[in-house]
Structure 1
Amino acid sequence: MEHLVLIVEDEPPQAELLSYNLQKEGFRVLLAQDGEEGLLMAQENAPDAIVLDWMLPGLSGIEVCRQLRGSSETREIPILMLTARGEEEDRVRGIETGADDYVVKPYSPREVVARLKALLRRANPSLSSEALQYADIAMDLAQHKVNRGGQAIHLGPTEFRLLKTLMERPSRVFSRERLLDLVWGRDVYVEDRTVDVHIRRLRKALNDGGGEDVIRTVRGEGYAIDLDKGN
């Protein structure tokens, strides 16, 4: 699966350099030029990772990081901080605010890519696996099989991709637009309500044996695979 990375960087040459190198490695990239735009894009697009400059006009990178960590929607997104501050106190402050890693300017784009890949592996160990498990649901990605409580579940190709996407990041709420990108692809025109149709089919297939509904609907936001319905 292609990872979506949000770059929050106010210097166009730096943003373009990072964007070029990430796209060359197979990432999809979104660009934000300041902290306010970065926060909005993170909330609307649920990126897989964020590359965040410390020194931003208006809302600083540190404050952006703090607000991202304070929101249930963006709390778990890995954040790589770009900083010209090399002092230990500043690095510690960045980590304590919620950054997962940092790179000191001037940096090598290859180092940023390598650190980003490492963050994604740590955040999503299941992405490199051929099997996914959530509660009593198991997916065998190599054999394209799903079972729940030991009983085979028969899914169509779209429902299989939808379940895989949700199970790769349990509890994360995916908007309909994000699910359309991940499951159907950006080059395919599909209406938002199509997601709802396939979610209903997936629910029916998973719950036919009487199991608890594991798909949480967040009104106005989207869907997550999550047994905790309290949020």
Structure 2
Amino acid sequence: MSGLEDMRWPALSMEAVEADVVLGVALMKPLVLICSQDAELYLFLSHILGVDGFTSEPAGGVKEALALADERELQAVVLDCGPASATGSTICARFKGEPRTGGLPVIALIAPGAEDQHLDLLKAGIDESFVRPFAPAKLLDCLRMKLALPKPGSNGIENGGWISCGDLEIRLDAHRVRGNGHEVHLGPIEFNLLRLLLETPGKVFTRDELISAAWPANIHVGVRTVDVHISRLRRALKAASPSSVIRTVRSAGYSLEWPDG
């Protein structure tokens, strides 16, 4: 099997991260980080993810994976756990231990003969694991369940309602967000932040309140981390719902302003 060093990753990555533009609104595809030393496996996974509406980015090791988490707005992580590699649990533990990535779903693909890694992965906080070979549909269904995304062509869960503020809407049971009727894809942390802000527009939430609502209880989160995720949320909403403004209240926190009119 070819190694990652034989692949022209920059070209692949640029194609993979292109956004769809619908009626002038940029709708970013959910980005999945694939951690693998196997270029053939990456190409296979990136293909099935692309067909199902995801995009992907490769990483060969712990440092590269964490660096990409800083640079890109990841939605989930898929780990290739081979018999001769113990990096899967290490990467998982690092992601789960970082405030900015602690809420990301991490899924392990365990190669035959590497089943003994399962316990280490559980200790590291893995969300789901599959032993290869596996049906691609199982991975896709798992990702959509973890991210609460509807299947392609589906309108999502029909019971329950939308919470709205002007042209911005959030549907809690289906984990969906719309601006002017167009889907807005958010990571788990940004979704939880928006949910809190939108449930009480105009109220100023402290950073501690935002941390309690958006991050797992066992994760230490600093003030700067909250600011970074609020900035990401603002960027995601800017194109789809320009009238919805997240206001910074100096020394207090953040609030979602009522749209004008």
| Range into which the TM-score falls when normalised by the shorter chain | 0.5 to 0.7
Q: Give the TM-score taking structure 2 as reference length.
A: 0.53
The partner residue of 2:164 within 130, 133, 139 is 139
Q: Give the C-alpha shift of residue 111 in structure 1.
A: 2.2
Matches within 5 A, 1:1-231: 2-55=29-82, 60-84=87-111, 89-121=116-148, 139=164, 144=167, 168-170=191-193, 171=214, 173-174=228-229, 180=235, 183-184=238-239, 201-203=245-247, 213-214=253-254
Output the amino acid matched with 2:35. Answer: V
Equivalent position SS for 1:18: helix
CA contact (8 A) 2:35 2:58 kept: yes
Equivalent position SS for 2:229: coil
Output the amino acid matched with 1:174. Answer: H
* CA distance in structure 1 between the partners assigned to 2:188 and 2:95 by the alignment: 22
* CA distance in structure 2 between the partners assigned to 1:30 and 1:110 by the alignment: 20
CA contact (8 A) 2:73 2:187 kept: no
Identity of aligned residues (%): 22
Equivalent position SS for 2:47: helix
Output the amino acid matched with 1:169. Answer: N
* CA distance in structure 2 between the partners assigned to 1:107 and 1:163 by the alignment: 28
CA contact (8 A) 1:165 1:182 kept: no
Q: Give the C-alpha shift of residue 64 in structure 1.
A: 0.8
CA contact (8 A) 2:96 2:103 kept: yes
Gaps of 5+ in 2: 1-26, 150-155, 170-178, 194-213, 216-227, 257-261
Q: Give the TM-score taking structure 1 as reference length.
A: 0.59
Partner of 1:152: none
* CA distance in structure 2 between the partners assigned to 1:116 and 1:45 by the alignment: 18
CA contact (8 A) 2:103 2:189 kept: no
Instruction: Select the structure with the greater relative contact order (CA < 8 A; seq sep ≥ 6).
Output: 2
